Structure 1
Amino acid sequence: MNYENYKQYLSPALAKATDLIMESGKGCYMTDINGDEYLDFVQGIAVNALGHCHPKVVQAVVEQTKKLMNGSFNLVNFPTTLKLAKRLSEVTPGNLNSIFFSNGGAEAIDGALKLAKAYTKRPAIIAFKGSFHGRTLGATTITASNSKYRKYYEPMVGSVYFSTYPSKDLCPKGFDEKQRTEYCLNELDSLFKYVVAPEMVAAIIMEPVQGEGGYVVPTKEFVQGVRDICTKHGILLIFDEIQSGYGRTGKMFAGENFDVVPDIMTVGKAIAGGLPMSAVISTPEIMDEWHAGMHGTTFGGNPVCAAAALAVLEEYKNANILENVNNMGAYLRKKLEVLKEKYSCISDIRGLGLMVAIEFSYGDGTPAGDLFEKVRDKCFKNKLLTLACGVYGNGLRFAAPLNVTEDEIDKGITIIDKVLGEIWKK
């Protein structure tokens, strides 16, 4: 089987990073139809929290498919979905324990925006430059990690405004962390003063740690400052935890690193161990304004996906997954620090837990997106799958499974070390 023979039947809109045809996966590895095994540090873009085909997840899926695969959650209830709603409410922060299930991250984002408008009766949304929230029309409207995602789709959803996220790529050159924080909070105030009155804003939506924007970790002061601004003006704070949530940063949800509880939270990717599932989560008070029929879904709350999600949560508890994230995250960062000392093209290491990225730049500080592409291609030839991030495409993000081992990290770092030794000449 050759991908080129089937390419004509697939829309070119979906960008393909490789021509690989994968037949199986186990843990940190995928195997193609030729029997070649690849170390996978992409994991479906942080979807497989427990790696490929975790046996507990597979068992839960198989058992549920033998009983019922779907019946539409808006018609009947399913034991697995009801249990999942309760279990999720037990691990979410604050009073975020009312849940609307959907299928993918972008769909959850659109739902969260609708919920915020329904509750506040206000029209405007504020998002951040550097953000990525998805590719549906609503999610695309609030995405600003690259103009390519918005190209040709204007006009989009109205009354959306952008402020600056405290990334060094987006703030004035030379600003330190404190200056970036102050600058970005002032930018929000300026937006209210000159562009949109705060009493017209339904929600501010943000990734507590930006994903595609470069795995950018803001200061606690910034996130708490945004929370305070929202509280002051009656604006809802939405956390997009689709990539950063579910243990990726070492806390169950990234917002917990900043001691901030949002009013609405979206989760997805890792929730069902590889199956398509997401959710909009809020307080009962806010959800009560989302009356029956104001939002809907055909496949959301699917019993098979819910069974997989229950197995994921059970494994998190039994295998101390969060502890492993913190231990392996520290181990990975230590290994990356060694590479940074060795190769001057690595200009930054950032992230939390196992949401970590390295940034490539040239000596004058110019972002080296072309260098990343060479690294990615050579890693691929050495059977390591990697993924870019960052406004300039010069970041290499690590999205290994949350149960990754030291040995698997070592194998990946060895390949990257070898590749950089071949590419980067001092």
Structure 2
Amino acid sequence: MTTSKTGYRAGHAPLPAGVFVAPYPDPLAADQDAEVAKALWGFDHLLKSMTAPEETAAVILEPVLGEGGYIPAPAAFIHGLVERCRQHGILFIADEVQSGFGRTGRMFAVEHYGIEPDIICMAKGIASGFPFAALGTRRELDDKWPKGSHGGTYGGNPMGCAAALATIELMTDPAFLANVNARGEQLQAGIRELQRDYPTITQVRGLGLMVGTEFDDAARVAAVIKHCLEEGHLILMNAGTYGKVLRWMPPLVVSEREIALALAAFGAALKATN
């Protein structure tokens, strides 16, 4: 299922049958309307050439691509997919493992698009880093499971449940998500200011505190990451199919001062590596 690059597929063949990968709009394309239309055509073509609608169980999508390069789905694209799913009776599953629980400035990233998935996958932020995951479905889907049919050896871990409840309680405070949005705007504005001096940065994108900085070359990203680590700064590894995206995923409780410090460190790394 993880298809952002061949490195995640290598050594795991044969992969499960019946899984097909549809195209996704390129965020760097000059004509985004045409790019969305091309991606939706590719999805339609997939239903004609590889998997018939009546044999297609579900479409799984990250509202903001994670390993794929921190790319928010264009609204027209995600609405087009949902429309096709409804038309053909295909379930729409939102993978919110990375983007869920306040990361994008909303509880879930799908809220930015005004859509309701049939199934939603949750983990990571749900318990503030404590190993925990959950699955949500529409009531009519859940009712199809016989009572007691779903369970697991490690399901319902008390510590995980407590961590998740504490996290959810914190996130329901309006001030919490307000800070995520404010700090996200501060972060993107600061990176764009640096972009003026360093045109090797080709795009800054994201929602809330899930921000991607794309460079013109993967080697530049690697050099920046290496410099930051040598200076004692914690930074995520690169992302994207070609490894050209620097990921920003700071704690959701990050302060204005801490974002400013991070931008200063990033600026110093750019200066040292350009």
1:167–1:218 contact (8 Å) kept in structure 2: no
Q: Per-residue CA shift, 1:273-314, capped at 9, x if unaligned?
A: 221001110012101223356543111211111111111122
- Choose from 257, 265, 272 the match for 1:407: 257
Counterpart Cα distance in 2 of 1:156 and 1:273: 32
After TM superposition, the structure 1 stretch with the greater mean CA deviation from structure 2, 319-328 or 332-341, is: 319-328
1:163–1:191 contact (8 Å) kept in structure 2: yes
- Choose from 206, 224, 231 the match for 1:375: 224
* Residue in structure 2 matched with residue 135 of structure 1 by the alignment: none
In the alignment, structure 1 residue 386 sits paired with structure 2 residue 235: yes
Counterpart Cα distance in 2 of 1:152 and 1:403: 39
Counterpart AA for 1:375 = V
- Choose from 90, 95, 99 the match for 1:240: 95
- Choose from 203, 206, 230 the match for 1:351: 206
User: Post-superposition shift, 1:218?
Assistant: 1.9
* Residue in structure 2 matched with residue 226 of structure 1 by the alignment: 81
User: Post-superposition shift, 1:167?
Assistant: 2.4
Taking structure 1 as the reference length, what is the TM-score of the superposition?
0.62
* Residue in structure 2 matched with residue 289 of structure 1 by the alignment: 144
Q: How many positions carry a matched residue from both structures?
A: 273
Are residues 319 and 284 of structure 1, via their aligned partners in 2, closer, same or farther at CA, if it must alter by over 3 Å? Answer: closer
Counterpart Cα distance in 2 of 1:233 and 1:411: 50
1:248–1:325 contact (8 Å) kept in structure 2: yes
* Residue in structure 2 matched with residue 419 of structure 1 by the alignment: 269
Two-structure CA RMSD over aligned residues (Å) = 1.4
* Residue in structure 2 matched with residue 265 of structure 1 by the alignment: 120
Counterpart Cα distance in 1 of 2:158 and 2:64: 30
Kindly, what percent of the aligned residue pairs are identical? 40
The structure number with the bigger radius of gyration is: 1
Counterpart AA for 1:341 = R
- Choose from 290, 311, 321 the match for 2:166: 311
In the alignment, structure 1 residue 155 sits paired with structure 2 residue 14: yes
Counterpart AA for 2:261 = K
Mapping for residues 317-356 of structure 1, pairs under 5 Å: 317-318=172-173, 320-356=175-211
Counterpart AA for 2:156 = G
